[in-house]
Amino acid sequence: MKVIIFGGTPGSGKTSIIKFIIQELKNLKIHYVKFDVLNTDDDLLIKQKFGISTENKISGEACPDHYAALEIPKIIKEHKDKDLIIIETAGLCLRCSPYVNEGLAVNVLNILAGKPSGYGPLLTDADVIVVSKGDLISQAEREIFRSKILEVNKNALIIDGNGLTGEGAIDVAEKIKESQEVKNILTLKHSMPTGICGYCYGNKILDSEETLNRYNQGKELKSRIPNLNCGKCGFKSCNEFIRAVLDKKVEENKCPYIKNKE
Amino acid sequence: MKIKNISILPGYNKKKEKESKKKIEILEGQKIGIVGHTGSGKSQLLYDIEKLAYGETKTKRKIFINGEKPNKNLKTDPTIKIIGYLTQHMNFMTDTTVYDFLKTHIITRGKHNTKEETEKIIKKVIIEANKITGEKIKKETNLLILSGGQSRALMVADLAYISESPIILIDEIENAGIKIKQALNLLIQKGKIIFLVTHDPLLALDTDKRFVMKNGGISKVIHTSIKEKGIAHYLSWINDYILDIREEIREGKKINKLKLICTPTGEEK
């Protein structure tokens, strides 16, 4: 089984290009997962169009990329019978992008959205970079853009893509066919930025004292729960549960595994 | 890389019929028109050529260069890329001057020119661009404020002198603001093969032959007659005449003489 992770800023054309790629790979057993923050119906549209299995994962209060990294092992476990798992990230963070070491990391890069040097891991750790919306500018500028990508990521295969015509989909599909099957425990290509402070535990008041308090409370609570993200408390992740407890929206005994204070 | 000829091994149209019986040959220096209704397969044909397709696209066409299957790195390495593309949209997004832009492009093309050579090429591109557009481009002009005509002219000259791709694909280029025939001549002079999607009679009738697209395939190949070429010349003369008047209006002049006698285009008035 192969795991293909698509990253790219919102509006770069990830979903459109993925549709053309699925079309090219329709003889494989594919599972498609869309991560987003608020809502999405891309999974339903793709299910309708291609009849493959799909699902969406809404991160809500959590960072969508951290959430994806938490969920990917579960998805793989549940879909061992598939040839290919296509994961489309929310694409909100250029720094977190949850690319893994096996399979393929594909960045759909909107040529109109700024300099390649400003992107970080989303671009620099990708194996394949699909440059989209290139039809809106001159070829000379496309060539210059390409050389700027090479300055920050020498190893990626750069493909001109178009979400309207499907240009580039054949080349990505070809690369997917060549990519390695998942064999070992997956590793993130880069460590994600830390996000551990009082704000992560739901503090809203911009005050260092308050933030520190909230951080200490959160850390204490975290040490007493199993961090399994089992969902039995009604929240998607333990962190969301901690925030709700600290916001006094729920009692801490909602967690069936919680240990008492020492 | 020197291109003597391209051949297209026919593929299949949307009805799964073979689009033509024999191989279609195109020679160095030829202009090929591609005409047909929306959805008839014009863009797909350009795409197959641009990709140097070898049976993997939906039409299953195969493109041969100089009678051989094209080498893989011809498709991917931009410094030797043999296909130049003039798209409908030629907007710029980089906030820089014409001079700096051309310089960056020359460096990107990786020809390692000396400083003097680079300066010479930049100068040449701007001079040639100014021959095909009415409004003069200056090297210190910001790219973002170029008019549509100026952008098109600059890109044509760039294709001729910097990109130097021997095969040029042109997708419905607008002729507003540029002397389109002179622009194409600039490319042809350099021995290029041009594929041109267009319904502009001035361009479509000035080709060596034109492919008529239907149902996703090449349904007919028409060799342009001498009569058609004559009509194209006349239309081109009218286009240049309109462009001249346009410039005079821009300069605040009154237009009081009417030219009725057509002189062959391409020659100095």
In chain A, what residues touch B162 (CB-CB under 8 Å)? 140
**What are the CA-CA distances from residue B151 to residues A74, A242, B121, B145, B174 (Å)?**
52, 57, 18, 9, 11
User: Is A209 inside any structural domain?
Assistant: yes
For residue A78, being part of any structural domain is answered with yes
CATH number, domain with residue A205: 1.10.15.40
pLDDT number for residue B242? 87
Q: Which of B213, B215, B211, B210 is nearest to B13 (CA)?
A: B215
- Banded pLDDT at A29 (limits 50, 70, 90): very high
- Give chain A positions within 8 Å (CB) of B86: 139
Cβ separation B87–A170 shorter than 8 A: no
DSSP per-residue string spanning chain B: ----EEEEE--B-TTS-BS-SS-EEEETT-EEEEE--TTSSHHHHHHHHHTT-BS-STT--EEEETTBPPPTHHHH-TTS--EEEE-S--B----SBHHHHHHHHHHHTT----HHHHHHHHHHHHHHHHHHBSSPP-TTSBGGG--HHHHHHHHHHHIIIII--SEEEEES---TTB-HHHHHHHHHHTT-EEEEE---HHHHTTSSEEEEEETTEEEEEEEPPHHHHHHHHHHHHHHHHHHHHHHHHHTT--------PPPPTTS--
CA angle A85, A188, A145 (to 5 degrees): 85
pLDDT at A88 over 90: yes
- Give a yes or no: residue A184 inside a domain: no
Main-chain phi, psi angles of A54, to 5 degrees: -140, 160
Q: Are B128 and B160 in contact (CB under 8 A)?
A: yes
Tell me if A185 is assigned to some domain: no
d(C-alpha A1, C-alpha A182), whole Å: 6
- CA-to-CA distance for B122 and B189, rounded, in angstroms? 19
Most confident stretch, A20-29, B46-55, B72-81, B254-263: A20-29
Gap from A170 CA to chain B (nearest CA, Å): 8
Residues A148 and A215 in one domain: no
ipTM of the complex: 0.76
CA dist., res. B269 & res. B266, Å (int): 9
A156 and A53 within one domain:
yes
A139 and B85 within 8 Å at the Cβ level: the answer is yes
d(CA A236, CA B60): 48
pLDDT average, residue stretch A209-232: 89
> Shortest CA distance to A64 belongs to which of A29, A93, A41, A106?
A93
Using the 8-state DSSP alphabet, how is residue A253 labeled? G
**Does residue A187 belong to any structural domain of this protein?**
no
Look at residue A7 and tell me if it is in a domain.
Answer: yes
DSSP state of A12: S
Q: Judge contact between A149 and A156, C-beta under 8 A.
A: yes
pLDDT of B209 reads 94
Q: Cβ–Cβ of A143/B78 closer than 8 Å?
A: yes
Confidence of residue A248 (pLDDT cuts 50, 70, 90): very high
Domain map of chain B by residue range? 5-91+168-250
Both A224 and A259 in one domain: the answer is yes
Residues A64, A167, single domain; the answer is yes
3-state secondary structure of A188: strand
Q: Please tell me which of the candidates B43, B84, B88 has its beta carbon nearest to residue A139.
A: B84
| A251 has a pLDDT exceeding 90 | yes
pLDDT per residue as tens digits for the range B226-235: 999 999 888 8
- Residue B263, pLDDT above cutoff 70: no
Q: What angle do CA B239, B242, B247 make, to 5 degrees?
A: 130
Q: How far is CA B244 from the centre of its chain?
A: 22
Q: pLDDT band for position B78 (50/70/90)?
A: low
User: What pLDDT, on a 0 to 100 scale, did the predictor assign at position B102?
Assistant: 93
A137 neighbourhood in chain B, CB within 8 Å: 89-93
Summary mean pLDDT of chain B = 86
pLDDT at B79: 66
Average of pLDDT values for A71-96?
92
- Same domain? For A160 and A79 the reply is yes
Residues B131-136 have a mean pLDDT of 87
Question: At residue B141, does pLDDT exceed 80?
Answer: yes
Query: How sure is the predictor about B267, in pLDDT bands with cuts at 50, 70 and 90?
Result: very low
Per-residue model confidence as pLDDT tens digits over A173-219: 999 999 999 988 889 998 888 777 888 888 888 888 888 899 999 99
Mean pLDDT highest for which of A131-140, B76-85, B175-184, B205-214?
B205-214
- A170 vs B56, B84, B155: nearest CB: B56
- CB pair distance less than 8 Å for A140 and B162: yes
- Higher-pLDDT residue of A128 and A94 is A128
Question: What pLDDT is stored for residue B175 in this prediction?
Answer: 66
Pick the CATH number of B5-91+168-250 from 3.40.50.720, 3.40.50.1000, 3.40.50.300, 3.90.550.10: 3.40.50.300
> Does A35 score more than 60 pLDDT?
yes
pLDDT at B9: 94
Please list, residue by residue across B132-146, b when 16 or more beta carbons sit within 10 angstroms of its beta carbon and e when fewer do. bbbeebeeebebeeb
Q: What is the pTM of this model?
A: 0.80
Within a domain: A40: yes
Number of separate domains in chain A:
2
SS (H, E, C) B96-160: CEHHHHHHHHHHHCCCCCCHHHHHHHHHHHHHHHHHHECCCCCCCCEHHHCCHHHHHHHHHHHHH
Which has more pLDDT, B176 or B161? B161
Residue among B228, B242, B233, B225 at smallest CA distance from B262: B233
Q: What percent of chain A has pLDDT over 70?
A: 100
Task: Identify which of A135, A144, A170 has the shortest CB distance to residue B108.
Answer: A144
* pLDDT tens-place string over residues B175-226: 667 787 788 888 887 778 999 998 888 889 989 999 999 999 999 999 999 9
The pLDDT of residue B249 is 92
Mutate which: A21, A129, A131, A143, vs B, most B CBs within 10 A = A143
Residue A84: the pLDDT is 96
State the Cα–Cα distance between residues B33 and B11, nearest whole angstrom: 19
Which chain A residues contact residue B90 at CB under 8 A? 137-138
Distance from the Cα of B255 to chain A's closest Cα (Å) equals: 35
What residues of B are in contact with residue A174 (Cβ under 8 Å)? 56
Write out the two tokens for B225: 């007659």
User: CA A69, CA B116: separation in Å to the nearest integer?
Assistant: 53
What was the pLDDT predicted at B268?
42
Q: Does a structural domain hold residue A104?
A: yes
The domain of A55 spans 2-178
On whether both A120 and A242 belong to a single domain, the answer is no
Mean pLDDT of chain A: 91
* Least-confidence region, from A131-145, A210-224, B78-92, B229-243: B78-92
Q: Over 60: is that where the pLDDT of B269 sits?
A: no
